[in-house]
Amino acid sequence: MMAAGSPRVRRYGAAPTMPWLKSCRPQQKKTKMLQSKADYLPEPIPQAIEASPLIKLVSLQNANGSWGLDSALASALGVSETDVKGKMPSEGVEPGVWATVLAVVWLHSRSAAQREEWELLEIKAVGWLRSRAGSISQLDKCLEAANALLGCSVAGPGLG
């Protein structure tokens, strides 16, 4: 039993004395104040990844599986935005449908060796196309125009 005068005996109203508690407390780390935006911006993407045409195209796909018809898509496909918009079949084709067909055709023609990397993206894109396209003939016209624009001959990559 401990003596009443022992430092470890707690008396009512007195704070306990536990010298070991001080060593268990987490040390406060001094944090550096952010001085500019550069202090918290992520590191840039390495040039090798940035230059990959497949990565460029894949990064443009929307969450619903579609691609948007814009200059970034044209750049990723390696054609001008004027050509992309000018060659679009005009019979009631939504710009997103046209852009998505172009992207899928490009994947089949220019990145066939990396199919394992993009085949799930294609499945999502084709599902979106089937839900949005007015008819199979509309998709066939888009496919024909996409082959002409991209200079390839992809035969119905799951679009029919």
Instruction: Quickly tell me which residue has 């045409």 as its tokens.
Output: 53
Domain-embedded: residue 31: no
Asked if 118 and 59 count as a contact pair (C-beta separation under 8 A), the reply is no
Number of domains in the chain: 1
Among 19-33, 71-85, 113-127, 141-155, the range scoring the smallest mean pLDDT is 19-33
| Alpha-carbon span 138 to 71, nearest angstrom | 23
Task: Label residues 1-34 b or e (16+ Cβ within 10 Å = b).
Answer: eeeeeeeeeeeeeeeeeeeeeeeeeeeeeeeeee
The lowest-confidence range among 32-36, 64-68, 82-86, 104-108 is: 32-36
Angle at 61 between CA 77 and CA 150, to 5 degrees: 20
What integer is the mean pLDDT of 16-45? 60
Average pLDDT value for residue range 137-153? 91
Is there a domain that residue 14 lies in?
no
Q: Tell me, yes or no, whether 122 lies in a domain.
A: yes
How far, in whole angstroms, is CA 141 from its chain's centroid?
29
Domain-located, residue 29: no
Kind and range of the H or E element at 86?
Answer: helix 81-86
Q: Is residue 22 part of a domain?
A: no
CA 131 to chain centre: 22
Q: Is the pLDDT of residue 27 over 90?
A: no
Binned at pLDDT 50, 70 and 90, residue 21 comes out as low
Phi-psi region of 79 (alpha: psi -120 to 50; beta: other; left: phi over 0): beta
Q: Which amino acid is at 22?
A: K
Spatial distance between the Cα atoms of 68 and 74, rounded to a whole number of angstroms: 10
Does residue 27 sit within a domain? no
Query: HEC states along 125-150?
Result: HHHHHHHHCCCHHHHHHHHHHHHHHH
- Predicted pLDDT of residue 106: 96
- Let me know if residue 156 belongs to a domain: no
24 part of a folded domain? no
In this predicted structure, the answer to whether residue 118 has a pLDDT above a threshold of 60 is: yes
Give the model's pLDDT for residue 160.
44
Domain residues for 132? Answer: 47-150
